[in-house]
């Protein structure tokens, strides 16, 4: 057995580096309109920033619920035992309200890609000390509590998000479902996520630490988290409790029997914050970077049409008349981000469909012409035979006349 080289200590070292500099942590909420995204942000802030020193800068912008119309960024600083976290919360306008929801997710996807791009550009600058970082570390996707299933629009958007960010699906307004309905709904969503190959965030299982592994297991089993948001507090036995009041009783936000709010808050702000930050950098940012810089060889040498042109430029004909590659020819580099790849695929699909439709039309037209020619030929034959009969008759008459 070789001597251990201390690799096991790496996670701690990274933790120390981050804690020295402080960390930036960005959460994004998105989903259909009116599902309680803004309310959730307010609930999370009010429940997490109670002891925040400066109440003036505390997030209480939206006291009344109203439709969010723009991407809205709220910043706060959390400080605990000299560990400073710059927290950004990104609220997005609800989508899915329109008759045509095609591409309604574009502003959100663009926002995520733009942050990766901005960060990458800053990394390429000579001075890289003070970087602005708004890369999204956790994206909470709000699912309508229908009790049935995920909509095609949800699947489409979640697929796109899951290749770019740590995606955390949550069931919005879960107080509108009974515990039984909620359990069935959760398991259906989990099945669809698996069947559709949507890559959601999974807390890592630290096998060396049974307590933390158990916590991660519980978090994984609770996905998608059922959430209740509320900005109101009610007095129960002299204690103020945040919740939603119904004639039959109070649904409590911070009660594990009623919803998963506390579990999600713990995942985001305590147990998994570091993992969310590191995995964003190591998985999502890296894959964006490699696609963007064209280091992905299969991509850059891909089967795309425009490479034909590049190949021509890189090839020369030698004295034997054979086509060979120029010795100095560089590998073609393609600059594009995943967003453009999707657009390209959509355009290709559209183009193929158009060509197919035109071909179909052309074939129909050709068939019509052949039919018409046959009909005319037949008419012509009939006319000719009529003419022949008439000529015969003329001949007969002429003979009679003589």
Q: Which stretch, 2-10, 33-41, 254-262, 324-332, contacts Mg ion (CB under 5 A)?
A: 33-41
Q: Which is nearer to ligand GTP, 34 or 203 (CB)?
A: 34
Q: Which is nearer to ligand GTP, 63 or 320 (CB)?
A: 63
Q: Does 68 bind Mg ion (CB under 5 A)?
A: yes
- Ranked by CB distance to ligand GTP, the top (closest) residue is 94
Contact 87, 103 (CB under 8 A): no
Tokens, residue 50 = 């109670």
Q: Which does 34 bind (CB under 5 to 8 A by kind): Mg ion, ligand GTP, none?
A: ligand GTP
Provide, rounded to whole angstroms, the least separation between the CB of residue 173 and ligand GTP. Answer: 4
Q: Which is nearer to ligand GTP, 59 or 336 (CB)?
A: 59
Q: Which among 202, 215, 206, 214 has a CA at the least distance from the CA of 263?
A: 215
Q: Which stretch, 65-73, 157-165, 277-285, 286-294, contacts Mg ion (CB under 5 A)?
A: 65-73
Q: Does 74 bind Mg ion (CB under 5 A)?
A: no
| Residue 206: its H or E element | none
CA distance 187 to 259: 16
Give me the residues that bind ligand GTP (CB under 6 A), please: 33-39, 65, 67-68, 93-94, 173, 175-176, 228-229, 244
Buried b (16+ CB within 10 A) or exposed e, 359-374: eeeeeeeeeeeeeeee
Provide, rounded to whole angstroms, the least separation between the CB of residue 215 and ligand GTP. Answer: 24
Q: Does 38 bind Mg ion (CB under 5 A)?
A: yes
Q: Which does 193 bind (CB under 5 to 8 A by kind): Mg ion, ligand GTP, none?
A: none
Q: Which is nearer to ligand GTP, 104 or 279 (CB)?
A: 104
CA distance 306 to 309: 6
SS3 content of the chain, % helix, strand, coil (to 5): 50, 15, 35
Provide, rounded to whole angstroms, the least separation between the CB of residue 258 and ligand GTP. Answer: 11
CA distance 107 to 279: 23
Q: Does 92 bind Mg ion (CB under 5 A)?
A: no
Q: Which is nearer to Mg ion, 38 or 115 (CB)?
A: 38
Provide, rounded to whole angstroms, the least separation between the CB of residue 107 and ligand GTP. Answer: 13
Q: How far is CA 367 from CA 313, 354, 357, 370, 373, in A?
A: 43, 20, 15, 5, 10
Provide, rounded to whole angstroms, the least separation between the CB of residue 35 and ligand GTP. Answer: 4
Q: Which does 203 bind (CB under 5 to 8 A by kind): Mg ion, ligand GTP, none?
A: none
Residue 252 has a CB neighbour count (10 Å cut-off) of 20
CA 87, 18, 15, 111 torsion: positive or negative?
positive
DSSP 49-65: -TT-S-GGGSS---SS-
Q: Which is nearer to ligand GTP, 29 or 277 (CB)?
A: 29
Residues within the interface to Mg ion (CB under 5 A): 37-38, 68
């Amino acid at each position: 057995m070789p001597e251990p080289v201390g690799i096991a200590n790496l996670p701690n070292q990274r933790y120390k580096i981050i804690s020295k500099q402080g960390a930036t942590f960005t959460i994004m909420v998105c989903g259909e309109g009116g599902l309680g995204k803004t309310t959730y942000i307010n609930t999370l802030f009010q429940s997490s920033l109670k002891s925040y020193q400066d109440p003036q800068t505390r997030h209480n912008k939206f006291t009344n619920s109203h439709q969010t119309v723009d991407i809205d960024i709220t910043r706060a600083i959390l400080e605990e035992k000299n560990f400073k976290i710059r927290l950004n919360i990104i609220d997005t306008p609800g989508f899915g309200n329109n008759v045509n929801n095609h591409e309604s997710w574009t502003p959100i996807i663009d926002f995520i890609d733009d942050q990766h791009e901005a960060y990458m550009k800053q990394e390429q600058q000579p001075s890289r000390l003070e970087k602005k970082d708004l890369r999204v570390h956790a994206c909470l996707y709000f699912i309508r509590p229908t009790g049935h299933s995920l909509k095609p629009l949800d699947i489409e958007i979640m697929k796109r998000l899951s290749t770019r960010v740590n995606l955390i699906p949550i069931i919005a307004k879960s107080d509108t479902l009974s515990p039984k309905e909620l359990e069935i709904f959760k398991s259906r969503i989990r099945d669809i996520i698996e069947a559709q190959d949507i890559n959601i965030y999974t807390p890592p299982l630290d096998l060396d630490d049974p307590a933390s592994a158990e916590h991660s297991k519980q978090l994984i089993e609770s996905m998608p988290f059922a959430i209740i948001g509320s900005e109101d507090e009610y007095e129960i036995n002299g204690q103020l409790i945040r919740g939603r009041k119904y004639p039959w009783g109070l649904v409590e936000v911070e009660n594990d029997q009623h919803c998963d709010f506390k579990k999600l808050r713990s995942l985001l702000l305590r147990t998994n914050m570091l993992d969310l930050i590191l995995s964003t950098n190591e998985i999502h940012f890296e894959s964006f970077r490699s696609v963007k810089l064209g280091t992905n060889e299969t991509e850059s040498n891909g089967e795309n049409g425009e490479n034909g042109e590049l190949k021509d430029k890189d090839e020369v004909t030698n004295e034997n008349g054979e086509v060979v590659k120029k010795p100095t020819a560089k590998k073609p580099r393609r600059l594009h981000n995943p967003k453009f790849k999707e657009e390209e695929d959509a355009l290709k699909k559209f183009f193929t469909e158009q060509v197919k439709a035109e071909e179909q039309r052309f074939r129909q037209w050709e068939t019509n012409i052949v039919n018409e020619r046959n009909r005319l030929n037949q008419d012509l034959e009939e006319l000719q035979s009529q003419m022949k009969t008439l000529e015969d008759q003329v001949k007969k008459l002429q003979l009679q006349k003589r």
